Amino acid sequence: MRSWQLLILGSFVALSPHIAEAADRPIVVELFTSQGCSSCPPANAFLNELSKQRADVLPLAFHVTYWDYLGWKDPFSLQTATERQARYGQRFGDGSYTPEIVVDGETGLVGSYRDGVNSAIAKARANLRTAADVSIIAREGKVSIDVGPGKGAAKVLLIGFDREHITSVGRGENRGRTMPESNVVRSFRPVGDWHGAAVHIDQQFPDGEEVAVILEAPDGRIIGAARARRAGAS
């Protein structure tokens, strides 16, 4: 093999891990749910399965607040979850309802429609939009976020979530039920902006056992994502 061929091959090998990292970013699946909603448990169960069986997916359970006044206050409800779903509802033109799953910020579906959600995940994977590599490292109560160079613009969103909760519901539509729920979002906030140049962001570890970061384009679609676990967690 000639020297110039070796040089090209060596350059390709050096770049391959970078390319694979961008292509392999997880598809973000957001479930908008509430413990006060009797039609939500099947969607919760589906998200639980995704969290345990699909390494190529980042499932997140956003508990909304608008069921809190109908017999049972969801201990994990967040106003930021309600506001995030409202923005999706305005974009999609279907308002806010539970259970709703939004796939990669692009497609909204009834959360218990497994076939439809799985098809949306497959479509998102086939047409993956990744503007830049994203990495997040968590240690000693802090997180370090790096967004690589690329084209476009996005908000950098930091998410803290718990791996699992099991709740005995005492009132409301799910009274008497024991509800296991995975990847329950405990905090969600923007921590910076990305405009194509590499960005480094340091933050305190958010509320939650685990942490993730997503890039949200101005049109609301997800164009980057990564997750990390607190150093020392099993």
More confident residue, 95 or 12: 95
Residue 163 · residue 59 · CB < 8 Å = no
Query: How many other CB atoms are there within 10 angstroms of residue 130's CB atom?
Result: 17
CATH of the domain at 207: 3.40.30.10
pLDDT tens figures, 70-124: 999 999 999 999 999 999 999 999 999 999 999 999 999 999 999 999 999 999 9
Question: Which DSSP helix (H) or strand (E) runs through 120?
Answer: helix 114-126
Which amino acid is located at 117 in the chain? V
Q: Does residue 148 sit within a domain?
A: yes
Domain-embedded: residue 234: no
Q: Based on the structure, what is the number of domains in the chain?
A: 1
What's the predicted TM-score (pTM) here?
A: 0.88
Domain that holds residue 126: 3-229
> Has residue 183 been placed in a domain?
yes
Residue 18 belongs to some domain of the structure: yes
Let me know if residue 13 belongs to a domain.
yes
Distances (CA, A) of 105 to 28, 85, 188, 224: 8, 10, 15, 11
Provide, rounded to the nearest whole percent, the portion of the chain with pLDDT above 90: 86
